[in-house]
A and B are shown apart, each in its own frame.
Chain A
Amino acid sequence: MTLLRRGRWITGIALLLLGGMYVRALVFTPEERLQGLAQKIYYVHVPSAWSAMLAMGMVGLASILFLFLKDARYDRFASASAEVGTAFSLVMLTTGPLWARPIWGTWWTWDARLTLTLMLFFLFIGYQVLRGAVTDPGLRARYAAVVGICGLVLLPFIHLSVYLFRTLHPMPIVLKPGKPSLPGSMLETLLLSFGVFTLLYVGFVMQRYAIGERSHDA
């Protein structure tokens, strides 16, 4: 079976599981007492943020490997991972405000985590704009790897700086929920959704990588 087909199968299975996960989340998982149905978006939002972070980590890792080993496959993998990561961060950035509007009373706030994820999105975009702007494949791979590694190092700094910023100036209107001690069934659903989204990431990246291989061979 080709990589593309395997990727399709995995994505298909992950999508089915996603459907099942949502049935579980809507029907069999208790409603949150204060947030009501709005809280259900949590099972998409949090795992897609996880997948986006995973994607960025993988881009950084593949970039390091590429610079050391000069193997074009790592570059193609980084490219695939970045594209999939962009999609996941877009999901995260749309589901976030949808939830925040009824719960926080505002679409957006400059909380540490929000700023971090927005910057993650910008990094993905910048990475891909750069890839699009270099015609020579060898040059493109090296440039992209440099940006990928820098991006990975940057993320903790952004998080730390915004975190410091907001702890010095707390915003009392916007309640930032503390770490909720989830009841068992909610936690299980969440963990399940993490698994499903990781599988989705794997499936998407496999397909995208296979397409990259094809255009490389052509």
Chain B
Amino acid sequence: MGELVRHAWLVARKDLHLEFRSRTAITSALVFTALVLVVFEHGRDPTAVATIDLAPSILWVTFSFAGMLTLNRAFNAELENQALDGLLLAPISRTSLFLGKLVANLAFVAVVQVTGLLLFTLFFNVPVWKVWAPLVSVMILATVGFIAVGTLFSAMVVRTRFAELMLPVLLLPFLLPPLIAAVEVTAKLFAGRPLSEVAGWLRLLAAYDVAFVSLATLLFPATVTE
């Protein structure tokens, strides 16, 4: 167990290190997030629709698109110079490889989401700070399960044709349950309702996370075994 965690951390640290050095993916993801928010602002009629009504959708559509785009990064980097073969030959289990990739992806998405949330607060003038703690918890709950499935799928699609297009096609159905739940909870939070009103949604999110993180961990070896 200790080995597993340590190896996973090594993989995650390698990925984050790589990203920190080049900063290509993170810069693109952040610029993309900002652009989507700007497009949303100009794609609505402010006299007809109040910001607060659209805010949850804007936030979550931005998060899901940004998340999806960044998922391609994880295994794309391993294609060059057959780095993936090197990783697979390393004396670490497939499970720790997956968990490492998952942690790196989550850290990556967390940076994008936090920046996105700040920009959202700035652009849309929604009182996010009043509910920041429950909002961040919902962001974590909704993101973990979805990114787990995404990490699993991205390991496969990098070796297919049209990888960038394939990932959204496969992943969007899986985004639906956490997306619906997150939008519902966020709307309640912005409206100043207590969390107890959305207990059902939170349970659904938690169940989704448990189910898909375990399933993805179990299935991952099947995607990389030669």
Contact = CB atoms under 8 A, between A and B. Distances in A.
Interface of A: 67, 115, 119, 122-123, 125-126, 129-130, 133-134, 139, 142-143, 145-147, 149-151, 153-154, 157-158, 160-162, 164-165, 168
B223 A142 contact: yes
Given A158-B177, A165-B180, A146 B169 contact: no
B173 A133 contact: no
A134 B161 CA distance: 7
A158 B184 CA distance: 15
B204 A130 contact: no
B108 interface: no
Interface in B93-133: none
A164 B169 contact: no
A150 B213 CA distance: 11
Contact of B159 (A134, A149, A157, A162): A134
A139 B174 CA distance: 22
7 contacts: A129-B169, A143-B160, A146-B152, A146-B219, A149-B219, A150-B149, A150-B212
B166 A129 contact: yes
B190 interface: no
Interface of B: 149, 152-153, 156-157, 159-162, 166, 169-170, 172-174, 176-177, 180-181, 184, 200-201, 204, 207-208, 211-212, 215-216, 219, 222-223, 225
B129 to A, nearest CB: 27
A131 B95 CA distance: 25
Contacts of A165: 180, 184
A126 B222 contact: no
Contact of B222 (A134, A142, A151, A168): A142
Contacts of A161: 176-177, 180-181, 204
A7 to B, nearest CB: 30
A158 B225 CA distance: 30
Contacts, number: 82
Given A122-B173, A146-B223, A134 B160 contact: yes
Given A134-B160, A147-B156, 10 more contacts: A119-B173, A133-B162, A146-B156, A149-B215, A153-B211, A153-B215, A157-B208, A158-B173, A164-B181, A165-B180
A119 B215 contact: no
A160 B212 CA distance: 15
Which 9 pairs of residues, A with B, have the shortest CB-CB distance?
Answer: A133-B160, A161-B177, A157-B177, A126-B170, A143-B156, A133-B161, A161-B180, A119-B173, A146-B219
Contacts of B177: 154, 157-158, 160-161
Contacts of A154: 173-174, 177
A161 B162 CA distance: 31
Contacts of A139: 159
B223 A143 contact: yes
Given A133-B161, A134-B160, A164-B200, A150 B152 contact: yes
Contacts of B176: 115, 119, 158, 161
A157 B172 contact: no
A164 B204 contact: yes
Nearest to A67: B222
Interface-centre pick from A125, A154, A158 (highest chain B CB count, 10 A): A154
Contacts of B170: 126, 129-130, 147
